[in-house]
Amino acid sequence: MRWLSLLVALLLAVTLGPAPGRATSGPADRPRTSAPPTPVLVAVRAAHRDGVDRVVFEFRGGLPESRRVGYVRRLFADGSGRRVRVAGRALLRVRFEPAQAHTDDGSPTAAPRRVAYALPNVMTAVRAGDFEAVTTYGLGLARRTPVRVTTLQAPPRVVVEVGAGFATVRRKVWFLDRDRFADGWEPYFVPVRRPVVPGAPATGLMDRLFAGPLPGERARGLRLLRSGATGYDDLTVAGGVADLRLTGRCRSGGATVSIAGEVLPTLKQLPTVDRVVLRDAAGSTLDPDGPGDSTPACLEP
């Protein structure tokens, strides 16, 4: 019977396998497709032109598929959840996915963890994460302004454009000159110039101070001497007195120099400031009502 012959032929094919020399194909023989490489952040640059501050994130291996940029009140580290301090009056979070700021062997790229800029609006970029193919930065700004995001190729770049079409004035900010201090050559604190919004110069100066020196200034030995402080709060200027409180820890470490050597001259350059009252995080200071400047006991050697 025909159906019996077909059944016997099928059983023989299963038992004996394919005939010699006949090619077969199956799931194991299909070409495997590898996952695309994760884009690697290799540089962060910034410049001002035509009333706009542009922050450029350059990648190797293509552009991240997700590029989320928006204003936030606080910035938290990816993975740990700890708050990341970013100097400025407005905070812009830039989040790339998938993206990493390290090579496959774990070595960091040239993309900075923290960098300062002397632009009208963008004053600093601080990395908040390089974790599980997500890279996050916080941009500290002088003002909250409109933002536009574009992309470029050859090489792959994401450009964050921040409005900066407002007036600024150039003021001095003092930093510690590490080499002068090491050599015992006073003055140990030297000024550099920064753009500051005229309406609130004291606040602008303190924001620029905590943004830190520019890369070129760091190469010359300038440093932000924090003395444990993470920032400042409660800044007021009235009756010729600038009064402010340091946040975070406060310690001199036994050194003869402290953050007071940066804060006092930076604020006293203003014509409205004759003396400075600098307080610790708890609000304490040595001589708040005296005729001269006052600093907290934690900054004493």
- On the 0-12 / 13-18 / 19+ scale of CB atoms within 10 A, 56 is middle
Stated pTM of the model: 0.87
Q: Report pLDDT digits (tens) over 150-182.
A: 999 999 999 999 999 999 999 999 999 999 999
d(CA 151, CA 56): 9
Q: How far is CA 86 from CA 40, 126, 202, 207, in A?
A: 23, 7, 17, 9
Q: Which residues pair with 245 in a beta bridge?
A: 233, 279
The model's pLDDT over 92-129, given as tens digits with 9 standing for 90+, comes to 999 999 999 999 898 999 999 999 999 999 999 999 99
CA nearest 98: which of 130, 128, 126? Answer: 130
pLDDT per residue as tens digits for the range 32-53: 556 678 999 999 999 999 999 9
Structure tokens at 107: 């070595």
Is the pLDDT at 261 greater than 70, yes or no? yes
Which of 118, 83, 94 lies closest to 41 in space, CA to CA? 94
Q: How far is CA 263 from CA 37, 171, 294, in A?
A: 46, 13, 11
Query: How far is it, in rounded angstroms, from Cα 93 to Cα 53?
Result: 15
Q: State how far the alpha carbon of 44 is from the alpha carbons of 40, 49, 235, in Å.
A: 12, 17, 32
Contact status, residue 211 vs residue 219, Cβ threshold 8 Å: no
The answer to whether 197 and 143 are in contact (CB under 8 A) is: yes
